[in-house]
């Protein structure tokens, strides 16, 4: 039924909240632009934030429009206190389907009587839901607080240039982004660069809240036999391993191959492991270029690896590289893969671009190199390969930094500040929390 929020999973969630006695907490609804996967924003940004907020006593609901994974339509579950629901998809009718899906998201969100609706990305269906909610607020039909999250720059110079969009989509997404970031009660931004961009749009600094991506505690045991099995699988023997954990679009492929070639010239015993999958088949292009340059015998390509298996791959690495061209996309993004590496204690060499410098303190929790300084990058990698004590020290410091400064349980406080009413002496907590969810 359209907009219905009465389901067995939801009823169990309500009963759980009742038993725990959360009578004076904030009720928050997250609205996503797409499914939990294959795009991972909601899985690696919204969900861990929701878990951290739930652990702090808040009630969190996540609504997803699974247009990019239609088999998830109607699926729901509760994960560490977060009620996740994939709304049903309407019939595929030109234009009308977009309006209906937006209505289902907004209707379902308001049925939960939230104090806050947090829309993740100011584009696609989350952006449409934010637009509709703002009109609803203008008409005085709701006082719910609207917060918009941005973790990438989507418009000119951003994903509009990288994504395979039509010119109509590019213009619409650019408009959505600017409108959404300037028509809400607060904005959460994943990077310092996005923070300054939102300021430049005229949004008062008091409404802009820096909320970088963080680390969520997940324990995956890495037995020695698993590492040995991977070494045997890829034919590494006892060679030191340099890791490239990547999505491939953050850099020019030629530069990565120049780094690999440079390291091999100074440390020929090194073998390279590449983990990840490109957006548009970039991995095939990289491997073809490696074969042409005679580098293929030194490179093993693992492809996409399930998250639960990644710790074993990380444990193989003596060093990891994180190349980043100095582009607007890279300056504004907040790389979760870099967080994964640092939290696992892998010593990392990265380009000093954007958020990389927020996570890595040069010489303390990793090594930073000026962008396009390929020779210096090579020297930094070789230094860590030849100095295991330094590599070990940087890895441990990186792990401690992620867990102490960038744990989602601490970052959740920043989200709470974005959710607070700006008017002195007022609160959005009690009235909304006292009402029933449906």
223-270 pLDDT, tens digit each: 788 899 999 999 999 999 999 999 999 999 999 999 999 999 999 999
- Are residue 176 and residue 73 in the same domain, yes or no? yes
Q: Are residues 163 and 196 in the same domain?
A: yes
Single out the residue of 28, 154, 36 nearest to residue 419, CA to CA.
28
Per DSSP, the three-state class of 138 is helix
Q: Cα separation of 408 and 168, whole Å?
A: 37
- pTM score over 0.95: no
Q: Which two tokens stand for residue 74?
A: 């109607």
Do residue 401 and residue 412 come from a single domain?
no
Q: 204 and 228: one domain? A: no
Alpha-helical segments (H) within 208-272: 224-234, 253-266
Higher pLDDT, 85 or 11: 85
Q: Sorting pLDDT into bands at 50, 70 and 90, what band is 17?
A: very low
Number of neighbours of residue 370 by Cβ within 10 angstroms:
11
Q: How many CA atoms lie within 13 A of 141 on its CB side?
A: 9
| pLDDT at residue 76 in the model | 96
DSSP state, 91? P
pLDDT for 280:
87
- Residue 258 within a domain: yes
Q: pLDDT tens digit string along 286-302?
A: 999 999 999 999 999 99
Q: Are residues 178 and 305 in the same domain?
A: no
Same domain (yes/no): 148, 278: no
- First-residue to last-residue Cα distance in the chain: 14
Dump pLDDT digits (tens) for 310-359.
999 999 999 999 999 999 999 999 999 999 999 999 999 999 999 999 99
pLDDT in tens, 101-132: 999 999 999 999 999 999 999 999 999 999 99
**Are 265 and 119 within one domain?**
no
Domain contains 1: no
Residue 407 contacts residue 217 (beta carbons within 8 Å): yes
Look at residue 120 and tell me if it is in a domain: yes
Of residues 294 and 279, the one with the higher pLDDT is 294
Inside any domain, residue 2: no
- Confidence band (pLDDT; 50, 70, 90) for 54? very high
Give the contacts of 33 (CB within 8 A, at least 6 positions apart). 41, 65, 120, 121, 123, 124, 125, 126, 127
In a domain, 57, yes or no: yes
Q: How many domains in the chain?
A: 2
Residue 373 and residue 419 in one domain = no
Q: How many CB atoms lie within 10 A of CB 40?
A: 13
Q: Could you tell me if 417 and 399 lie in one domain? A: no
Identify whether 427 is part of a domain.
yes
Range of the domain at 286: 224-405
| Residue 292's CATH number | 3.40.50.2000
Domain identity same for 203 and 286: no
At 227, phi and psi to the nearest 5? -65, -45
Whole-angstrom distance, CA of residue 158 vs CA of residue 170: 10
């Amino acid at each position: 039924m359209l907009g219905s929020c009465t389901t067995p999973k939801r009823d169990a969630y309500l009963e759980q909240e009742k038993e725990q006695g959360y009578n004076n907490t904030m009720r928050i609804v997250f609205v996503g632009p797409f499914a939990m996967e294959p795009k991972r924003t909601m899985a690696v940004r919204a969900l861990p934030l929701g878990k951290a907020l739930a652990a702090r006593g808040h009630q969190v609901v996540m609504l997803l429009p699974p247009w990019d994974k239609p088999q998830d339509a109607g699926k729901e579950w509760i994960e560490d206190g977060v009620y996740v629901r994939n709304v049903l998809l309407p019939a595929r009718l030109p234009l009308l389907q977009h309006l209906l899906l937006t209505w289902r998201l907004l209707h379902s969100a308001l049925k939960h009587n939230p104090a806050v609706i947090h829309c993740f990305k100011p584009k696609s269906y989350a952006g449409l839901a934010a637009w509709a909610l703002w009109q609803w607020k203008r008409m005085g039909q709701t006082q719910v607080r609207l917060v918009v999250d941005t973790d990438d720059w989507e418009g000119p110079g951003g994903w509009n240039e990288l994504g395979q969009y039509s010119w109509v989509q590019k213009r619409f997404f650019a408009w959505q982004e600017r409108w959404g970031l300037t028509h809400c009660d607060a904005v959460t931004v994943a990077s310092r660069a996005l923070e300054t961009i939102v300021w430049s749009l005229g949004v008062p600094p008091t409404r802009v809240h820096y909320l970088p991506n963080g680390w969520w505690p997940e324990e995956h045991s890495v037995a020695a036999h698993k590492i040995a099995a991977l070494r045997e699988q890829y034919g590494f023997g006892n060679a030191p391993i340099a890791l490239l954990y990547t999505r491939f679009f953050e850099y020019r492929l030629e530069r990565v191959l120049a780094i690999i070639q440079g390291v091999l010239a100074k440390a020929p015993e090194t073998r390279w492991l590449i983990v990840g999958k490109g957006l548009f088949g970039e991995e095939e292009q990289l491997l073809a270029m490696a074969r042409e340059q005679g580098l293929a015998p030194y490179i093993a390509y693992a492809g996409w690896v399930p998250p639960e298996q990644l710790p074993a791959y990380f444990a193989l690495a003596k060093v990891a590289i994180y190349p980043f061209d100095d582009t607007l996309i890279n300056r504004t993004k907040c790389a979760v893969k870099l967080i994964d590496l640092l939290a696992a204690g892998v010593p990392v060499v990265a380009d000093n671009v954007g958020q990389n410098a927020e996570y890595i303190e040069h010489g303390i929790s990793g090594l930073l190199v000026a962008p396009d300084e390929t020779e210096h990058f090579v020297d930094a990698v070789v230094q860590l390969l030849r100095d295991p004590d330094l590599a070990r020290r940087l890895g441990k410091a990186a792990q401690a930094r992620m867990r102490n400064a960038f744990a989602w349980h601490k970052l959740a406080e920043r989200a709470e500040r974005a959710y607070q009413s700006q008017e002195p002496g007022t609160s959005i907590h009690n009235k909304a929390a006292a009402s029933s969810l449906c």
